[in-house]
Every structure is written in structure tokens, then in C-alpha cells.
A and B are shown apart, each in its own frame.
Chain A
Amino acid sequence: MITPVDDFLAAAVRTATPLALAALGECITERGGVINIGLEGAIICGALAATIAAGTVGGPLGVTAGFTAGALAGVVVTLLFALFTVYLRADQIITGTAITLLSLGFTGLVYKTVYGTTGVGLTIPTIGDVPIPGLSQLPLVGRALFAQPVITYALYAIVPFLAWWFVRTHAGLALRATGESPDAALAAGIQPRTVQALAVLAGGAFAGVAGATLVLAQSGTFVEGMSAGKGFIAIAIVVLGRWTPLGVAGAALLFGGASALQYLFQSLGWREVPYQLFLALPYVLTLLVLARASARSQAPAALARRQLTVG
């Protein structure tokens, strides 16, 4: 028996999945002291790479190929970002803006070259929901949490792992130290630049997988600009989640829930209410939650430390 609540919760988790992936990656990046506004670009590149790889390989293997290609594409784009921001120490925000513009254009170009004007349609292999026997029968959360695609289950492992990794490995300590004080990290024998570059690339891989998820676990197709601002939302989610993996996962779920609520409200057929009110709901809700729980103090101290000189 599937209730509307089940559907709503399942939609919340589905919507949260790519956001959580991208935001966890950005969380790693920001913990290293870099803010990657080019996340949107990495997502769309991941989506296209996943489309091409999965479509070319085909079948269940295609899905694996798609996720791999998505991650790789995310790494390649952010490599450019890392080159500019970590190596040249260019301003992170302008560079990120340019990278996003570049990626949106580049994917459009490649898409048209590969698929012509007819597009890819719905021919890309996708991963379906894999209900976990028993667990998926649990009341309320069963379907929402345990009848999802494998990539969502991957998050169940990634989130606690990252949370553990941040505080219980020396690499995690090094990452956090770099984001807090590159000077201190350097004095402790850490190479802050290497750490930052790796953090940026890891963020790119996650964003690429998020893009692949949009294609392979959700829509089954590619559309120009289908990232549709998810990169920016992911950055907001990192702040909302106070730079901790668990917080980020919770924030993504909150935003996913607010979006699912929006979809639900519109499906109720209240035609008197302007639909824009529903569309604004996730953003308003986020603001309200933020106002309840301030996040100011948790930001990595050296985040986005600007190389900028004021003139």
C-alpha cells in the first residue's frame, strides 16, 4: 500500500540525491578553503559524459561506464578550475563563473555534434529502483529510503564515511587544516596547494557523478542546460549543512523535501494559488531554516581567501 506520504518522501530522497552528491563534493572542496562556483559546470559536463558513455556502451554495463565517465568529466573540468585558482591563485568566483559558462557552452556544442538536432531521446540506459527486501517494507521511510537507485544507497555509505574521514584520518585533518589556515598546514609539513588541488578535483568527481545521476538515475536523457542551477543550490546546501557531511546530507534532504512538497502541492490541483508561490517554496523554506539555525561560525576560516587586490 503506497500512500501519498510515501510518494512524497520518495520524491524528497530522489530530488536530494544529486544535490547531496554535488554538495558533498563541494563540502570537501570548501573544507580545503576553496569555493568552486564552477560546480554547475562540472555537473553538466558529468551529465553529458554519462550520456555519451552509457549510450555508447549500452546495457547495464553502460550505466557503470556512464557514472565513471561522469566522474572523470567532473575531474577534467575542475582541473581547469584548480589550475586557475590553486596554481595561478586567480579569484575563485570569477574563475568559477567562467568555468560554468564554458561548460554550458561546451556541452551544448558536443551534444549537437554527437547527436545532431534529433537529440538523444530516451535511449540512454538507466538504473531503476532497487527495493531492498524487508527494509523497503518499513512503514513511512521504507520506500523513501530503501526503494531507490543504487546511487542513493551509495550515499548511505559515503556520508558516514566522509564524516568519519574528516575527523578520523590524517588526510581529513590535513584538509580541514588547509581550509582553516594554510600557514599552519604548511608549518605542519602539509602541502596546502596539493591538498587544495585534490580537494577541488574530488569535488569535481562528485559533481560529475551528480550530473551522471541526473541522466542515469533520473531523466534518462540529456538536455542542454539540464543542470538548471543545481550547482548553485548545492553550494547553498553546503552552507546550510554547516560544512559537515551529515549536515550537508540533512540539508540536501531538506531542500529535496521542500521541492517534493512543491511538486506535491501543485499536484493537488489548487488552481487559485499562483503556481509561482509553490515554485518559490523551497527557497523560502531554506531561508526560514537558516534564520532558525545560523551557520556563520562554522565556515572554514580561509574559505575563498581572495587573491584580489583592491584598486
Chain B
Amino acid sequence: MDTPIAAPSLPVRVAVLRSPLAQAAALTALTLGVLVTLLLATGHDPGVALRALARGAFGSWYAFTSATLVRAVPLALTGLAVALAFRAGLLNIGAEGQLLAGAAATAAVLGAFTSVSAVIALPVALLVGMICGALWAGMAALLRQRFGVLEVISTIMLNYVALYLVGWLVRGPLQEPSRIYPQSEGLARAFQLPTLFTGTRLHVGLVLAVGLSTLAWWWLRSTAGGFRLRTVGMNPSAAFTIGRVNVSRVSVWAFLVSGALAGLAGAVELTGVTYALYESISPGYGYTAIAVALLARLNPLGVLGTAVLFGALQAGGNAMQRDAGVPIALVHVVEAIIILLVIAGDRLPATRAERSA
């Protein structure tokens, strides 16, 4: 039944992009208007602040690679994790915890492998990170299959548990040898992911993120497994009735793969950026990932784009603090307004068209 409430937006959307230029212009103007007003009201020179934002994100090769793209890597991997799960109809809010599990496992492996060649140790460590991310997600999958516990809630709970687990590990088994600091021992050079360009901090994690996003995009589109996952996400009942798809098996696998990707994000962040396990290793990448994935409409390739957008926002936010003296609170407000305007830009035309229908 097609009431105005649940009208499918797909056919409508096409009619909408009629004058994208005008709409983009109007929206940009609105964005800038709100931001400028806000900055002026708080006594900041909007020109200086917004220039800092742009410079911090894209202003130089270093900023783009080492600030924006370095942040985009974990956002893309966790965003991909969320996108795959959502595509299978699973609300995995637990990428944060799975990331932490992956990072912790990687730190443990590399801590134990000090005498093993990096060529072996590093891939093994990343793999174990993925496996532990998958296992952490697997708990939610198990709770869902066996006990019918909604994954929305179990994954939130598991995020907190993971956080405290890491807190304990860095003060217990994984603590650095002097046993003073709550962190693991810093990785030897050989155990650090190589950087892509000298003079930047951009590491090969980017290649992994781009490669896996592309792979996931291709896999969802072109393989039977990917198609099966999509059928379960679109209509599990039809997938079972017509496709004879083993829905719960597909769900469990999707959950595990999602967890593995988030775990890899943690492993890559540890080996590519922080080089040690800290309690605060993730500034909430796993939560931001949900917005990254949804804004990309759960398209794995789109995730790369939105991850860069969010990475740029955060990189620019740091620069606004550093170079324009904008307090972090205001930086958050600015980031939120930009996100809201992106959402509005996405929905406004569609809404107008739906209303006229």
C-alpha cells in the first residue's frame, strides 16, 4: 500500500536531481551562512576558521594524506563493516568493540612474536586481529541466533565490555615491560605497517581499505555469496521461501565478516598509526562508522567517499583548534552542522517530490 508514509523513495529520487547545480549552490550557501553566523557570534574570524578547516583537511599533501586519509582508513574499514552487516539486515552497532578486540589481539600477537620475521608476524597479526574482531561480533551473532537477543543492544553492551577489557589488558598482560604506563610496548620499526609515501603517515592500510571496499563492492554485486547476503537483507522471508537460503547461516557469516573488517580496522590502526595499544586507541571510529555507512547508502565504494568526508571533517576540526583557536566544543558544533546539512541536502529534494505526489 502506498500511503505517503512508506512511499518508496527510489523512483522519486530520479525526478529530483533535476537541477543539482542550483541545489548544491543553495545548500552550500546555507551551510556557510550558518557556520559564519555561529563563528562570528562566538568571536572567531570565520575566514580564518574556515580556512584552517580546509587547510587542515586538504591544504597540503601532508594534511591530505597524514590527517585526512589516515583517519579515513579506520573509518572506511569500520564503515565497510557496518555497511556489510546492514546490507544483510543486521544492525551491528558494535564496530567499536570489534575494532578494539582486533587491535588488542594484534598487539598481543606482535608482543609475543618479537623474534619472528616481520614478513610472517605482521600478516599473522593482522589476521588474528580480524579473527578476534569476528569472534567479538560472533558473540552478538550467537546471542541473536540462540537467544533471540537483538544485536542492536548486545553490540552496544559488548562495546563497553571491550573497552574495559582493553583497559585491563594494557595494565595487565599486555602492559609495556617497565609496567608503568597503561599501554603496550611500542612496536619495533619492522612491525609497523610501511608508509605509502615518504614524509607522510599514510600507511598501506589505505590500500587495504580501498582494496577491500572494491572487493566488497564487486563481491556484493557479482558473486553468488554477495547476492545471497543481499537477498537476506532485502527480504529474509523471500530468500528462504524462494531462494532456499539458509538465512541464519548467512546472517552469522555476515556478522563474522563484519566483525573481521572492524577487527582489521583496529589491527591496522595499531600497526599503522599508534604503534601501541592504548585504552583510547579509538576516538569512536566504530560509532562514526555508522554514519559513514548510512551516508554512503551502504555502498562499499561510497563508504570510501564518506570516510574521507568524515576524516576531513575531523582533520579540519583539529586544525581549527590549532590554527584558529576555535575551541573543540565549537568544532563539534561545526562538524554536526555540516553533517546535518549533508543529510538535508540528501533528503530535501526527495521530500519535496514525495509531497507533491
Q: How large is the interface on B (under 10, 10 to 19, 20 to 34, 35 or more residues)?
A: 35 or more
| Residue contact A105 to B336, C-beta cutoff 8 Å | yes
The CA of A273 and the CA of B343, in the complex, are separated in Å by 47
The CA of A239 and the CA of B157, in the complex, are separated in Å by 12
The CA of A292 and the CA of B219, in the complex, are separated in Å by 37
Q: Which residues of A contact B288 (CB under 8 A)?
A: 97
The CA of A183 and the CA of B327, in the complex, are separated in Å by 46
Contact of A276 among B13, B147, B165, B330 (CB under 8 A): B165
A162 within 8 A of B: no
Q: Which residues of B contact A109 (CB under 8 A)?
A: 42, 327, 329-330, 333
Given known contacts A307-B347, A309-B10, A98 and B291 CB-to-CB distance under 8 angstroms: yes
| Residue contact A291 to B143, C-beta cutoff 8 Å | yes
The CA of A91 and the CA of B344, in the complex, are separated in Å by 10
B112 within 8 A of A: no
| Residue contact A311 to B302, C-beta cutoff 8 Å | yes
| Residue contact A108 to B329, C-beta cutoff 8 Å | yes
Minimum Cβ distance to chain B for residue A10 (Å): 24
Minimum Cβ distance to chain B for residue A52 (Å): 16
The CA of A108 and the CA of B298, in the complex, are separated in Å by 33
| Residue contact B3 to A310, C-beta cutoff 8 Å | no
| Residues of chain A in range 98-113 having any CB-CB distance to chain B below 8 Å | 98-99, 101-102, 104-109, 112-113
B158 within 8 A of A: yes
| Residue contact A95 to B343, C-beta cutoff 8 Å | yes
Q: Which residues of A contact B331 (CB under 8 A)?
A: 105
| Residue contact A280 to B149, C-beta cutoff 8 Å | no
Q: Which residues of A contact B348 (CB under 8 A)?
A: 88
The CA of A291 and the CA of B151, in the complex, are separated in Å by 11
| Residue contact A192 to B5, C-beta cutoff 8 Å | yes
Contact of A290 among B153, B160, B335 (CB under 8 A): B153
A-B interface pairs (CB < 8 A), number: 178
A294 within 8 A of B: yes
| Residues of chain A in range 8-46 having any CB-CB distance to chain B below 8 Å | none
The CA of A87 and the CA of B290, in the complex, are separated in Å by 22
| Residue contact B344 to A183, C-beta cutoff 8 Å | no
Q: Which residues of B contact A183 (CB under 8 A)?
A: 1, 3, 5-6
B297 within 8 A of A: yes
The CA of A206 and the CA of B3, in the complex, are separated in Å by 31
The A contact surface, by secondary structure, is helix
| Residues of chain B in range 233-271 having any CB-CB distance to chain A below 8 Å | none
Given known contacts A101-B336, A276-B168, A290 and B147 CB-to-CB distance under 8 angstroms: yes
| Residue contact B297 to A89, C-beta cutoff 8 Å | no
Nearest-neighbor residue (CB-CB) of B43 within chain A: A113
| Residue contact A84 to B149, C-beta cutoff 8 Å | no
| Residue contact A89 to B290, C-beta cutoff 8 Å | no
Nearest-neighbor residue (CB-CB) of A310 within chain B: B298
B295 within 8 A of A: yes
Residues of B within 8 A of A (CB): 1, 3-6, 9-10, 13, 42, 87, 143, 146-150, 152-154, 156-158, 160-161, 164-165, 167-168, 171-172, 287-288, 290-291, 294-299, 302, 327-337, 339-340, 343-344, 346-348, 350-351, 354
Residues of A within 8 A of B (CB): 80, 84, 87-91, 93-95, 97-99, 101-102, 104-109, 112-113, 182-183, 186-187, 192-193, 224, 232, 235-236, 239-240, 274, 276-277, 279-280, 283-284, 286-287, 290-292, 294-297, 299, 302, 305, 307-311
Q: List 8 A-B contacts (CB under 8 A).
A: A101-B336, A106-B329, A108-B329, A183-B1, A183-B5, A287-B143, A287-B149, A310-B298
